[in-house]
Amino acid sequence: MTGFQVAGKRLRTEAEYKAALRDQELIQKIRSRVDMEQPGEVITLYSDMRAGKYRFETVVGNDFDDEVYGLAERYKQQGFDKNSKLPAGKKGKQKPKQKAGKQVNVKQKKNGKQKTEKISLTDYDPDMQKEILAQIKKRDRRRKLLVFLCGMIAAGCFGYFGMYSFFNNRNETEYEKLANLKGDDSLTGSLFQGVSIHYTNEEELELEVLEEYKTLYNKNRKLIGWLKIDDTIIDYPVMQTVNNEYYLDHNFNQEYDKNGSLFLDKECDVVNRNTNLIIYGHHMKSGKMFGNLNSYSSKEYAQKHSLIRFDTIYEKGTYEVMYVFRSRIYNEDEIVFKYYQFLDAASATEFDSNMQEMAALSLYDTGVTASYGDELLTLSTCDSSETDGRFVVVAKRIS
């Protein structure tokens, strides 16, 4: 079985599925005991959940936790507490009892007509007057604090969007400049330093960088290639370094950039070629990097964008889309197919086994297949459909 569903959530393993069922059963028991339209009961339930009385194991439980939190906060903002209880027939409609002010309007019916009676603060005894005034001051302080917090949040949001726009605009401008440098010969000839790779003390390999990428390579020697998909925003340099963290938040110019860069897995070798090269990129809401990669969830889109161009700095390459699927990052002890660990196949049997796993996960059949000895390219980005989710496109080299 390739997947399970509970409460509309897709689970990958049987263990997760069983845990989700346990969460669902616990949620049903809670709902049978707690009236979600009674503020006091909801606020008490939320306090119990924070104290660890109820523990959930999966995203199904987390969603219920979010629901309870949202209700509890809404009731608290309306002035309810743990002891609040709405009369029958007023659930979800009645507002909290109005805290006494200097003057309260009381509506009464007389002869079928509604009459409003005004109550003055002086109608109460001195102790009650003090309590009423204290409550008024308390409510006023809360209001001022709420206004202040809202102002701070608004300022933070404006600041965030300002920085977001700055990085997006800078990112777009810089990558346009980099694209224009492809094929530029200003740093070729005597100004260009070649590439030497030392595999051992005795073995040294001299490599020739393609003319098209020499200028870019001289700007940043972590450049390993260029990825392009026609009629999409994906037209970026691909970086590679000794770890898979640096280019999560740095651009080609090695500046901090929340968009990051596309980068090749640190274990991949484009010279002594792996069976499968894996390129990672952020799923940005702006569409930058791999922000639109999940468009491949549509078979029609995949047919129109079936060819992927990935040039290493040493040779050109064209790939055809083969599999498109959703996966996630698994725990080390989970025995399941982990696409991000598939770099090499030592035999035809191992290769075919990996192909079968990906075919079973694939959202649709592209008609493209591969056999042992073929070279593969995998594009990977985040997917919000589940915790630590990933959206993956796998292609086979055709030239």
Residue pLDDT, tens place only, 320-371: 999 999 999 999 999 999 999 999 999 999 999 999 999 999 999 999 999 9
Give pLDDT tens digits for 314-324.
999 999 999 99
CA distances from 24 to 50, 69, 385 (A): 18, 17, 19
Q: Supply the pLDDT for residue 115.
A: 52
CA torsion 141-146-148-150 (nearest 10°) is -170
Calculate what percentage of the chain has a pLDDT beyond 90: 48
Give pLDDT tens digits for 266-284.
999 999 999 999 999 999 9
Distance between CA atoms of residues 286 and 288, nearest Å: 6
> What value does the mean pLDDT take over residues 193-219?
77
> What value does the mean pLDDT take over residues 23-49?
89
Task: Domain ranges for the chain, please list them.
Answer: 4-77, 117-181, 186-219, 221-397
Q: 92: left (phi > 0), else alpha (psi -120 to 50), else beta?
A: left
> What value does the mean pLDDT take over residues 164-168?
59
Q: Supply the pLDDT for residue 62.
A: 84
Task: Strands of 158-294 (E only): list them.
Answer: 195-198, 204-207, 223-228, 235-239, 262-264, 276-280
pLDDT exceeds 90 at position 160: no
Residue 393: strand pairing partners: 324, 379
Q: How many CB atoms lie within 10 A of CB 147?
A: 10
213 band by pLDDT with thresholds 50, 70 and 90: very high
Q: Supply the pLDDT for residue 315.
A: 96
pLDDT exceeds 70 at position 167: no
Cβ within 8 Å of residue 41, ≥6 positions away:
34, 35
Q: Supply the pLDDT for residue 352.
A: 97
Greater pLDDT, 180 or 127? 180
Q: Supply the pLDDT for residue 98.
A: 45
Of 50-64, 358-372, 385-399, where does mean pLDDT reach its minimum? 50-64
Q: Supply the pLDDT for residue 252.
A: 95
Of 63-67, 229-233, 311-315, where does mean pLDDT reach its minimum? 63-67
> What value does the mean pLDDT take over residues 390-398?
98
Buried b (16+ CB within 10 A) or exposed e, 357-370: bbeebbeeebeeeb
Question: What fold, for 221-397?
Answer: Sortase; Chain: A; (2.40.260)
97 band by pLDDT with thresholds 50, 70 and 90: very low
184 band by pLDDT with thresholds 50, 70 and 90: low
94 band by pLDDT with thresholds 50, 70 and 90: very low
Q: Supply the pLDDT for residue 106.
A: 44
Mean pLDDT of the chain: 84
**Torsions phi, psi for 245 (to 5 deg):** -115, -40
Cβ within 8 Å of residue 54, ≥6 positions away:
26, 30, 48
> What value does the mean pLDDT take over residues 205-222?
91
Placement of tokens 């894996």 in the chain: 278
Give pLDDT tens digits for 99-141.
444 444 444 444 545 555 556 666 666 767 677 777 788 888 8
381 band by pLDDT with thresholds 50, 70 and 90: very high
Q: Supply the pLDDT for residue 114.
A: 53
Distance between CA atoms of residues 388 and 8, nearest Å: 17
